[in-house]
Structure formats: structure tokens, C-alpha cells
Amino acid sequence: MTLPEEPNLAIVGATGAVGRELMNLLIERRFAHGRLRLLASARSAGRLLPYCGTSLAVEELTERSFADIDLAFFSAGGAISRQYAPAAVEAGAIVIDNSSAFRMDDDVPLIVPEINGNGLARFSGPAIIANPNCSTIIALMAATPLHRAATVKRMVISTYQAASGAGAAWMAELQQQALDHAAGTPYTMRTTGRQLLFNVFSHNSPLGPEGYNEEEMKLLRETRKIWSDESVLISATCVRVPVLRAHSAAINLTFARPLDEQEAHRVLAEAPGLRVVDDRAANRFPEPIDADGKDDVLVGRIRSDISQAPGMGMDMFVSGDQLRKGAALNALQIAEMLP
Amino acid sequence: MTLPEEPNLAIVGATGAVGRELMNLLIERRFAHGRLRLLASARSAGRLLPYCGTSLAVEELTERSFADIDLAFFSAGGAISRQYAPAAVEAGAIVIDNSSAFRMDDDVPLIVPEINGNGLARFSGPAIIANPNCSTIIALMAATPLHRAATVKRMVISTYQAASGAGAAWMAELQQQALDHAAGTPYTMRTTGRQLLFNVFSHNSPLGPEGYNEEEMKLLRETRKIWSDESVLISATCVRVPVLRAHSAAINLTFARPLDEQEAHRVLAEAPGLRVVDDRAANRFPEPIDADGKDDVLVGRIRSDISQAPGMGMDMFVSGDQLRKGAALNALQIAEMLP
């Protein structure tokens, strides 16, 4: 099965932050398509969303929503994907799933186009393709070129993750808290349950028996699958920071073979989807506000790790738009690569 | 020379964030003293600062400011310390210097009382004692108990540093930017030159030839001196986050001898000046807003590093008030230990 020239599309979770970003990207990247069906919960049904100068009504997601759909983007959380993605596949659609529901399934490809998109040329649906987690995508965009050059044996990652990763309501509440601060009123915590403004805290996903939270374990498991390398070691600390929509991460790498700083710069500068921002004299490096709304992941603070044998380790800092490359853009790039 | 029962004090940089915190702490900790002289630049001379129910006038700092002073706290930057601390010593005072000016001098003790305060029992002035950098103090409060238990060979540290580390004006500007956001006006960047609100960026200190900034190199050099261990290896990434006055850090340790998680918990729980905040079920861990205004450094996310051989590595996350334990409190604790 190959996609028709102008596939009929569905977006599950159209009212969410990723769904809306995907609609922007369909227009921006001139993704040729037939019908576009916006799906969400019954609560949002009938709501009109602007699209390409007109408005489209949101429809209630049911198992019958996919009758004439060729390609369905899911971005409404794992439970919705688990419940409805099989129905979409049953109806003949290719599903590109942004949730974690199927990522680790053996028969589901987990794809970052620049890294392991090759396999898609032979992909035949109807079936599910999984989009990795946002912090995995953003970290691997920078780590993979160095992995290819020197084989990464171990990574220590500390993240600086934006509110958008928890959804549009968190972004709104972070902004509301700035208004509350200005008004001198107590912080609104309806959605988040916590103070985001002027604060940082450990990622709000449940912790497993080893003391790592789900976000951290995704970084490990998804990297191993994307790199087809079960031996890579990762210890991650995932932290929320009061930033709107771009994730950052400090990444410390240990190599199997030496790689000097100049070569690392060259390899990163040549990597697609990556932009080196590394001006030591001006003290200018990746910042989330500069990655905001951009397709490229920014990488900088590239330096040989002074705590490892010369050339055997590298440090760097990345920022990438969580809603774009971390989610909607990566999903659409997958669609663009489908035969 | 020992200090008199009620030493005459001077605070150099009394109008700054650390100076003002020190005045609060003198009262809070009932530090017995005679005269208290507040010193600052000519620009601030004559300004009245509240102290203990009265007001004290700020005097202009000159080389003759220290005639009858027994103990002088310096917190006005390296250049001021280099220029005036020798005059204070000359006049017979003990100087506790919060700047980086003398920290690495062989004959200047670099002290965190809970870690290497023992030596102070034999200290005889007039001379200079240096207060370590804020991020060094806060990281070592948690790393040292584990170092004693299992010998830390290597640390990878990523910081989440508050505005206060750059001074009171940065704190004010971060708050102003929240007001600007609420008012819909462009961000005020008079002092910082950058957007702090909703952003993070690499620490604003100059970078050296190896690509590490000064803040990162302080963590390495000061740790080696405080631990009397030139072999410890550190790679740090220092990052500013939009937080007012508590620094946080993700710390990854590699040990020389195995240490299990339970033993690490026990050792950290018993360490003075440290409070374990580590509730995996409730997802509650150290946050800068909880460390704000507190003496204790908070430590949590304590877990055996799954990327190293069992027991040979540990991860944790710390938050500590940058103005208290990171600066003024540590300086006053040094004074309290003087004979």
C-alpha cells in the first residue's frame, strides 16, 4: 500500500497544542492532502478551528471516524491511541502516533526521519508508525551525528523542559502565573497544581522502581530502539523549567573512539535539521526562545569533556521546539517520507 | 589572635543582595557584635538601611574604613576585594571574602563549615578566609557525604541557577519582565541585556580556551581545594533559569567504591545542613521555591545510576538558597566557627 497523491487526513487531538501545530505545519509545508478531518473528544465536537483561511468543525472521535482516511495523526495521549489507533488501521489508514502507546512494540517503527528514516521507503501500511518522545528526538538530533562518528557508549542528560510538553493548558497556566505575579494575586494552579513561574521541578511523570521517572526511561529505551543499539547507557534527569515551548538539554557523552572538538563541530554543522549556535566570544549559545517556532534543533556549548580521557567525551547543550521537531514536525516529516 | 566576644563588624557591599541577606542573618542568628559598619561605593554613601529596629547609614568604602574593625565581610565583587581586603587585613581585621579574588590562593582557606570547617579552630588572623562560589557550596553540601562514603572520582553537573547569583538588579529585572509580559510591553533588559522570563541560557561568565565558562571551572577548582583532592574530575554545564534566589543542580557521581542507594539515603539524611526531600510516590523533590529563604540545602532524586556498574554511580538533584547557604549564611557560619 502506498499513500495516494492527496491522502485524506485525520488529526486526533486537533484541539491540543500538538494538533494545532500540525495544522500550521500542513499549511506551511504545503502538504498535499484531500479531506482533513479534525477529531477530538465529544466535549470539543462542533468547535470551529481556523484552517487555511476557512474554518473546520471538530468532530467527535469514534471508532467509525476513519472510514475514508488514508493517514491519521494521533496526538491525544496514550489511552486514546491504544483505544482508537487499531480502529484507524483496521479502516485502512496509516497511523503516525505521537503518544507512547506503541513506541516500544517490536513491529512498530520508531522514527526520527534524519536518523532512521531510511526504513520508511519500504514501509507498507495500514499500520502504526510511532513518533518518539520530544526529549528523545531533540537530544538525539545532536547526539546521533557524534554517535556515527565515534560511537556513544554512555550519555548523562539533564533536561530543561518547557510547559508545552504537558499540553496547551500548562502553557496557558504558566503565562497566567506571570499575570498573577503582576497582579499580586495567588498563582493559578488549576491545571498544573504547582508553581511553574520562577521555579523548576522534577518532571511530572510517575517514577519506576529504579527511581527514574517515565520521561527519563523513555530517553533510554527509545534511544536504544532508534539507534538499534541495546548497549548504549543513559542516565537522564528530566526537569521542568518555566519556558513555554522549547526543550533544552545538557548532554554529556562518552565515546568508544576518540573524537576531537573540531571534528565534532564539523559533523554537527553538516547534520540535517541541526543548527550550530556556539559563539564563545559573545557568550551566545542555544536558548529556548531562539528555538521557539523554528524547525531546526540548536546545538552549542560543544566542548571536549575535561573529565574524561582526551577526545573520549564531549559536552553540548541543545534547544529545540517541543511542538515542532519534538512532536508535530517530526510526525509530518515521517508522513512526507512515506512511499 | 582570637576575635573579641563582641567583634566590630564591617560589611563591604552592604547594599547588595548578599550584604542585605547577611544583615538579616546577623539578627536571625543573634550574632553578638559591637559596632556594625556598612560600606559601599560613594554612590550609596548616606543611604539608610534598616537594621534591628533602627537605621544605619552606609559609609563610603575607603582604605581607612577598617581602623577599628575585627571582622569584615566582603561581598562586592572580585575587584573590590582585591583592592580593599588587604587594607582590612593590614588594619587588623579578619576578612571573610565572598568574591573569587583569593579563593585559589594557597594561603587562603576556602571553607564550607560542614565540610572542611575543622581547620578554623586553629585559624589566626588578621588574614583572609574565602567563601566558595554559590554553586560549589550547594553541590558539595550533597556530594561530600557520598564522597566520604565511597570516594567520588568524577562528577557531571548541570545547574539551574537563579537570578540572584548575578545580583539584586537581576532579580528585580526578572520580576519586571513578568510585569512587562502582563502589560504586553517589551521586556526590560537594562541590567541583564537578555530575556530571562520564559527562557534559560548558558551562564553569563566568560569562557576559557577549553570551552568551559568561569562558573564551571570554579566548580572544578574549588571542589579540588575544599576536598584536598586534585584527582577528582568534574564536567559542569552552568545554566541560568528564571528563578529568583535558589540554585538547583542535577549531579551525576562516579564512585571509587560501591555505595548502595539505601546507604546513600542514610548518609545524606545524617549530613548537617542538608534535608532529604525525596518522595517518589508523591513526585515531590527539591524545588528552588522550597529552598528559598531556608538554611538547609535540599537533596532528592537519589538513585543508583543505571548507566554505571551497580553501586558505582549515583544521581541526585539539589536546591539551595543562593543568598543564604550559597553566600551570606556560609560566610556567617565561618565567622561563628572562628576562635
Considering CB atoms only, which of B181, B206, B300 is closest to A178?
Answer: B181
A116-162 pLDDT tens trace: 999 788 888 789 999 999 999 999 999 999 999 999 999 999 999 99
DSSP state of A119: G
* Closest CA relative to residue A277, chosen from A252, A308, A248, A254: A248
* Closest CA relative to residue A99, chosen from A113, A85, A118: A85
A264 min Cα distance to partner chain B (Å): 13
Contact at 8 Å (CB) between A160 and A301?
A: no
Q: Which residue matches cell numbers 589566626? A: B124
Interface test with chain B among A157, A200, A314, by most B beta carbons within 10 Å? A200
Which residue of the set B147, B203, B238, B247 is catalytic? B247
Which residue of the set B134, B147, B203, B238 is catalytic? B134
Return the pLDDT at A121.
Answer: 80
Contact at 8 Å (CB) between A290 and A284?
A: no
Distances (CA, A) of B99 to A76, A290, B54, B218, B229: 51, 33, 29, 12, 22
Say how far apart CA B317 and CA B327 lie, in whole Å.
20
Q: Domain locations in chain A?
A: 9-131+327-337, 135-322
Residue B253 bridge partners (DSSP): B155, B314
Which residue of the set A147, A203, A238, A247 is catalytic? A247
Mean predicted confidence (pLDDT) in A261-285: 98
H-run or E-run covering B262: helix B261-270
Give contacts of A166 with chain B, Cβ < 8 Å.
Answer: none
Q: Hey, is the C-beta of A233 within 8 angstroms of any chain B C-beta?
A: yes
Answer whether A9-131+327-337 and A135-322 agree in fold. Answer: no
B185-233 pLDDT tens trace: 999 999 999 999 999 999 999 999 999 999 999 999 999 999 999 999 9
CATH 3.30.360.10 fits A135-322, yes or no: yes
Q: Residue B1 — pLDDT band, cuts 50, 70, 90?
A: low
Joined together, the cell numbers standing for residue A244 give 513555554
A204-232 pLDDT tens trace: 999 999 999 999 999 999 999 999 999 99
Q: Hey, is the C-beta of A237 within 8 angstroms of any chain B C-beta?
A: yes
Q: State the DSSP string of A287-326.
A: -HHHHTT-SSEEEEEEEE-TTSSTTSEEEEEEEEETTIII
Say how far apart CA A88 and CA A95 lie, in whole Å.
7
Residue percentage of chain B with pLDDT more than 70 = 100
Active site residue A134: yes
Q: Hey, is the C-beta of B188 within 8 angstroms of any chain A C-beta?
A: no
Name residues whose C-beta falls within 8 Å of residue A191's C-beta, 6 or more positions apart in sequence: A169, A170, A172, A173
Q: Which residue matches cell numbers 511523570? A: A205
Say how far apart CA B174 and CA B195 lie, in whole Å.
8
Q: Which residue matches cell numbers 542528560? A: A157
Joined together, the cell numbers standing for residue A197 give 513561574
Given this structure, which CATH class describes domain A9-131+327-337?
alpha beta
Pairing of strands A297-304, A313-321: antiparallel
Active site residue A238: no
Burial of B283 (0-12, 13-18, 19+ CB in 10 A): middle
Mean predicted confidence (pLDDT) in B21-43: 97
Say how far apart CA A92 and CA A79 lie, in whole Å.
21
In this predicted structure, the answer to whether residue A10 has a pLDDT above a threshold of 70 is yes
Say how far apart CA A87 and CA A288 lie, in whole Å.
38
A residues 284-303 lying closer than 8 A (beta carbon) to B? 285, 287-289, 300-303
* Closest CA relative to residue A166, chosen from A319, A61, A24, A18: A18
Q: Hey, is the C-beta of A267 within 8 angstroms of any chain B C-beta?
A: no
CATH number of the domain located at residue range(s) B9-132+327-337 in this protein: 3.40.50.720
Q: State the DSSP string of B105-122.
A: -TTS-B--HHHHGGGGGG
Burial of B124 (0-12, 13-18, 19+ CB in 10 A): exposed
